[in-house]
Amino acid sequence: MDVKVENGGYVLGPTGLPETVEGLEELLQYARLRLTLRRGSLPYNRELGSGLGQWSPQEDRAEDRALALANEALLGLRGVRAVSARMTDGGLAFHIATPLGEGEIELGEL
């Protein structure tokens, strides 16, 4: 089980300890980490992460490119894929499909 993280911070349970997640929430958390981590930023695994840091909302077919970059980052998560991408006021949101269900991941400024 992993510790629950929302909007970059740990979620504390009623005891003051971080909450743990499993199932769909765990898969969505792994997906969020892969999408927000800049590809090449970890010295022990340069392939982990995404190229979304080079994405621009002004480019042609911006949402299609964001979707492609997201799916490239999610390749290592078996059965997890971004189904759609949409621009939001603060960044991007992805609809994610997993073997355990679906969810949405919203990313702020990239």
Q: Pairing relation of β-strands 92-98 and 101-107?
A: antiparallel
What is the tens place of the pLDDT at every residue in 71-106? Answer: 999 998 999 999 999 999 888 999 999 999 999 999
H/E segment holding residue 24: helix 24-36
Task: State the helix-helix crossing angle for 62-73 and 24-36, rounded to 10 degrees.
Answer: 110
Residue 28 belongs to domain spanning: 2-107
Sign of torsion, CA 6 7 8 14? negative
Domain count, the chain: 1
Claim: this prediction has a pTM higher than 0.85: no
Least confident window among 1-10, 30-39, 41-50, 90-99: 1-10
Residue 6 burial (CB count, 10 A): 12
We report the CATH number of the domain holding residue 14 as 3.10.450.40
